[in-house]
Structures are given as structure tokens and as C-alpha cells.
Amino acid sequence: MAANGDTQTVSEYIVHHLTNLTYGKLPGGYERYDGTIVPEAGQWTMAHGSDEMTAMGFNAVHVDSMIWSVGLGLIFCWVFRRVAVRASAGVPTGLVNFIEMVVEFVDGTVKDTFHGRNPLIAPLALTIFVWVFLMNLMDLIPVDLIPHSLMLVGVEYQKIVPSTDPNITMGMAIGVFLLMLFYSIKVKGFGFVKELTLNPFNHPLFIPINLFMEVVGLLAKPFSLGLRLFGNMYAGEMIFILIAALFSVGLFWLLPAALLQVGWAIFHILVITLQAFIFMVLTIVYLSMAHEDH
């Protein structure tokens, strides 16, 4: 384990692999890692280390998470469009058969879970399931392969699993939350206000208490949706990194580390699929609740 020719400790190795490639604006007067002082007007640059990322604050963008998530989304669109063009009335084979199985599985889940009428729900559920699955699938790539390859061309940090970044998972969760609010207002109208103020105690005196409990419950949905995915995938990635660190301990640990990597990867296939499924199902459930106007 080495970076820029210097030997890393296990702690430095773990921190390095959990650090995003970040672009943002450093405040004026900030002293950078190489001793240079940022001009008073500030400086837009790539961050070097966690201290500079912290100094950037809200102006920071995780470039690697954005590139990998958008790239995987484009791959999803390209593959599904290609299969849709090649689909025919005959018996499907190969990739076409697999994609049709995925579409039928998602469609069946939507029919069983969603009780309203909305042509957006099934495509949204399919997009969420496949997109989250592809982002999770990046966790199975050896942790050193891409980061160390990019370090050879000067890219110091690289996290290739977008779902281990809370900005990505919470961004998707907030998108679902906004759809929940939109359809709650569209379908229920003023009934949505009554739902927030007159439940569970149907009396005007309890409106403040009802409003507080309902708003807390409403806001808990996007947090639980985004943080559940982030927490599970982050923990899985951490285990992969810890197992990879064993390879540097000594020859005695090479075989156990290799067996642990293979075993955890096989088990993790279930985890990444299950997390994508849970995110999709909860999205369908939340939007179904938003369409219930009784």
C-alpha cells in the first residue's frame, strides 16, 4: 500500500479509500497542504485531504460520485434502449430475456404494492431498482484496482461506489420525497392538510401535537430511505477495505484474506440486490400512500 511513493499505514490506507475526489472553493487566506496561501477572492480547486474538503464546506462537489452515478445511469439507459429496439414477438434469448425478466419482476411488484393510477410509478421503480443495483454492483470491483490505476495518472482520490456517498443516496431520497409531496397535494388537495393536522387525534385542540408528529414522521421517510442504503453499502465497502488491508500484513495472511474477499463478495451479491429492492419497494409504498385520498 503506497501513495506517491510513500508507504501508508493501515489507518491511512482506509482513510484514503474512503475519501472522495472533491472539487470546491477554498476560502481566502486558507493555507493549503503545500504551504501556499489562497487569494482573498478564494480559489476553486481540487481538494487535497480532509482538511481542505472541510474548508470548502457547502461549495464542495464529490466529482467521483457524480461521474460514476451519471455514467452508470447512462449505461442503464443505453442497455435498456438497445434491448427495447431488439425485442420481438418471438422467444427472447440472452440479454433480452434477462431484461424482460427484470421488467416483469418490477412491474409485478408495482401491481402488488401500488394501489393508485399513475403511469410514472412503474418506470420510476424500474429506474431506481436498476440504477441503485448498478451503483451497488461497483462494490464488487477490487478496492485497489481503479483507485491505484488512476493514481498513476495523477488522480489522488477515487471512490467508485456512489451509494457509499450520503450525498447520492440522500439526493435520490429527497427526489422521492418531493414526488410524495407533489402527489399528496395533487391527489388529496386540502385533505393533505387535514391529514397532517387531524391525525391521530381528531380534535382542534390537538392540532399542534398532530402537526408535530405527522411532520416528524413525514421527514423521517427520506432520511430512512437514503441513510439505510448509505449505511449498508458503506459498511460493506469498509469490510472490503479491511480485508484488502490484510494483504499487506504478511504472507501468512494472503490465503485467508483471499478466501475472505471471495466469501464476502459472494454474500455481498445478496446485499447489493436486496438494498436496491428495498429502496424500490419503499419508494412505491411511499408514493402509494401519497395517492390514498380516503
Choice among 50, 97, 149, 224 that is catalytic: 224
By the 8 A CB rule, do 45 and 26 touch?
yes
Could you confirm whether 82 is annotated as catalytic?
A: no
Choice among 65, 136, 184, 232 that is catalytic: 232
Among the listed residues 129, 83, 84, the one whose alpha carbon sits nearest the alpha carbon of residue 106: 129
Q: Three-state SS for 39? A: coil
Q: Could you write out the DSSP letters of every residue in 192-250?
A: HHHHHHSSSS-SGGGHHHHHHHHHHHHHHHHHHHHHHHHHHHHHHHHHHHHHHHGGGT-
Could you confirm whether 224 is annotated as catalytic?
A: yes
What distance in Å separates the CA atoms of residue 219 and residue 11, rounded to the nearest whole number? 36
Choice among 167, 199, 228, 288 that is catalytic: 228
Rounded to 5°, angle at Cα 219 from 50 and 234 = 35
Could you confirm whether 232 is annotated as catalytic?
A: yes
Q: Catalytic residue positions?
A: 224, 228, 232
